[in-house]
Amino acid sequence: MGGTFDPPHLGHLISAQFVADELNLEEVIFLPTGNFSYKDSYETAEAQRRYDMVKLAIADNPKFSISDIEVRQKEYSYTCFTLEKIRKLYDNSRIYFIIGADSLDYIDSWKNPQHIFEQCTIVAVSRKGFSQEDLNEKRGELLKRFEADIIILEMPCIDISSTDIRKRIRENKSVNYLVDGRVAKYIEDNNLYK
């Protein structure tokens, strides 16, 4: 499960557990994005801090682990290259890449989408603002263009967003019940998002 996790929130954890249960996965590996070029850095925590927060958030779940594969690289992170590295590490395993419905909508604009689809099965988790009909239409389009293997899982809507959490922090509002308590303490102790 890749993402910026800026910060990681309970919606991320619920989605990961839901997919693990539905697909009977042995493990869910969280892959915090390293350096990226597509977000404003003024409100983004650096990669190591985001890694630390994910590690805290998943600490109690034996099915969850974390990889620093993107965090430790100096150059920009691209999903196509990360999945290639994961494929080499887990050569005999079926690899699923968990994304939100919003990411499925524009995954074909990512760097080398054909290579992404060759490396894994995409698992798109439903999200507010994306109808099942729209997701199925996008799935069909990607299947036709890239022969992509995509599973769409409809799950209960968990309307939590990292953007909203960062905004709440800037406004000195509580983020209780949106992020793990250890993550909230880490954010406060490190004065993040202010």
Tens of pLDDT, residues 151-177: 999 888 788 999 999 999 999 999 999
What angle is formed at CA 126 by the lines to CA 98 and CA 121, rounded to 5 degrees? 30
* DSSP, residue by residue, 98-143: EEEHHHHHHGGGSSSHHHHHHH-EEEEEP-TT--HHHHHHHHHHHH
Residue 87 is predicted with a pLDDT of 93
Query: From CA 13, how far away is CA 15, in angstroms rounded?
Result: 5
Measured in degrees and rounded to the nearest 5, phi and psi for residue 28 equal -120, 120
Residue 43 is predicted with a pLDDT of 74
Residue at token pair 């698992």: 123
Q: What's this model's pTM, rounded to 2 decimal places?
A: 0.92
Residue 158 is predicted with a pLDDT of 82
Tokens encoding 63: 């099915």
Helix or strand holding residue 31 (H, E): strand 28-32
Query: From CA 125, how far away is CA 141, in angstroms rounded?
Result: 17
Measured in degrees and rounded to the nearest 5, phi and psi for residue 35 equal -80, 135
What angle is formed at CA 158 by the lines to CA 153 and CA 57, rounded to 5 degrees? 100
Residue 38 is predicted with a pLDDT of 54
Which residues in the chain show pLDDT less than 50?
Answer: none
Query: From CA 191, how far away is CA 194, in angstroms rounded?
Result: 6
pLDDT tens digits, 32-49: 998 766 555 557 899 999
* DSSP, residue by residue, 39-94: S-GGG---HHHHHHHHHHHHTT-TTEEE--TTTT-SSBP-HHHHHHHHHHHTTTS-
Residue 53 is predicted with a pLDDT of 98
Measured in degrees and rounded to the nearest 5, phi and psi for residue 124 equal -100, 125
Residue 37 is predicted with a pLDDT of 60
Residue 169 is predicted with a pLDDT of 96
Residue 131 is predicted with a pLDDT of 83
The answer to whether residues 94 and 121 touch, using CB atoms and an 8 Å cutoff, is yes
| Domains of the chain and any CATH numbers | 2-159 (3.40.50.620)
Residue 69 is predicted with a pLDDT of 94
Percent of the chain with pLDDT over 70: 96
